Amino acid sequence: MPRALITGATRGIGKAIAIRLAADGFDVALTGRTRREGEGREEDASGGSTPLPGSLETTAREVRRRGRDCLEVPLDLCDPMSVERAAEEVLSCWGGVDLLVNNAMYEQGRYTNAWVRDTPLQEFSTKLQANFLAPVALVQAFLPNMLERGHGRVINLSTRHNYQRQGGPPGRGGASVSYNCSKAALGKLADGLAAEHGPDGILAFDVDPGPVWTERAVTQNHRLGYPKEIFCPVEVPAAAVAWLSTQAEAANYNGAHFMAQEFVRERGLHPLWETALPMNKRWSPRAILDWREPRGRSGDVP
Question: Going by CATH, does the domain composed of 3-292 fall within 3.40.640.10?
Answer: no
Three-state secondary structure of 252-288: HHCCCEEEHHHHHHHHCCCCCCCCCCCHHHHCCHHHH
The predicted model scores a pTM of: 0.89
pLDDT in tens, the chain (302 residues): 899 999 999 989 999 999 999 999 999 999 998 788 767 666 666 666 777 777 899 999 999 999 999 999 999 999 999 999 999 999 999 999 999 999 988 876 778 888 999 999 999 999 999 999 999 999 999 999 999 999 999 999 988 776 677 777 887 777 888 888 999 999 999 999 999 999 999 999 999 998 777 667 666 666 666 667 777 899 999 999 999 999 999 999 999 999 898 899 888 999 988 776 655 555 554 555 566 666 554 334 33
